[in-house]
Amino acid sequence: MMPKLLPLALLAALTASAAAPPEAWLKARDTQDRVALDAIAAEARKAADAKTTSADAQYRAALAQSIRSEVAMELRDKRAAGSAAEEGIALARRAVAINGNSAEYHRILGTLCGQIIPANVLLGLRYGQCALDEVSKAIELDPKSPLAWLSRGVGNYYLPDSFGGGAAKAVDDFKKAIALDARNAEAHLWLGVALRKLNRHAEARKALETAVKLNPRRVWARQQLEKTPEK
């Protein structure tokens, strides 16, 4: 029996998604606490530098930078958003180099490449393909990952129609993420943002109301709901 079980255990170890971010990380993101996020990222980077052969340590440091970039972009600090994303890309590439079979490592790399685009549109050509390829690889490895579909949707939202993206494609991706995890507040949030861009305001408000209900602490979700017309 052991010879049969070992390959399955090994496969699970190679492909399993990384653990969810610590509650302190999520709270800092939700409340847009940039001081806390800077400290979190610095600590994660220190751990990554101390454990250069640990894919998980590189991944966690990359994830911290992705969250920093996300909040900086919410606050319209494009320079900080781009800087955090670039630092995160290098860390995520290390994680993928150590373990290329992890869907989550590919997802975070694709997410970070996508975060460069709104921060600096001139880098769209350089990083747009990375965003598409890495998130597609994540979905190939784990097609039932709601986070992978969410990341693809965010990438499509920011990627211009002329580059193969657009809000309409993003809506489909967000709906897929919700179908896989109906309680994913971020998927509902981004669905609302994409629907609003398509001038589907009533549907957008419904999605944003769901996002706020699922995570009332999320400042950016409440802001997006407030700025969305009822009709």
| Per-residue pLDDT of the chain in tens (231 residues, 90 and over written 9) | 333 333 333 333 333 445 679 999 999 999 999 999 999 999 999 999 999 999 999 999 999 999 999 999 999 999 999 999 999 999 999 999 999 999 999 999 999 998 988 777 677 677 888 988 999 999 999 999 999 999 999 988 987 787 788 999 999 999 999 999 999 999 999 999 999 999 999 999 999 999 999 999 999 999 999 999 987
Residues 153 and 187 in one domain: yes
My answer on whether 29 and 127 are in the same domain is yes
* Phi, psi of 92, deg, nearest 5: -65, -35
Q: Is 78 contained in some domain?
A: yes
Pair 121, 31 in one domain: yes
Which residues form the domain of 121? 22-134
Query: Are residues 108 and 52 part of one domain?
Result: yes
Shared-domain flag, residues 154 and 100: no
The pLDDT value recorded for residue 228 is 97
Query: Of 71, 100, 134, at which residue does a domain stop?
Result: 134
Sign of CA dihedral 27, 33, 36, 39: positive
> 111 with 161, same domain?
no
pLDDT value of residue 19:
60
The span from the first CA to the last CA of the chain, in angstroms, equals 62
Query: How far apart are alpha carbons 69 and 82 in whole angstroms?
Result: 7
Does residue 92 fall inside a structural domain?
yes
Q: Which residues contact residue 216 at a Cβ distance below 8 angstroms, ignoring those fewer than 6 apart?
A: 222
Buried b (16+ CB within 10 A) or exposed e, 188-213: bbbbbbbbbeeebeeebbbbbebbbe
Domain finish residue from 134, 161, 195: 134
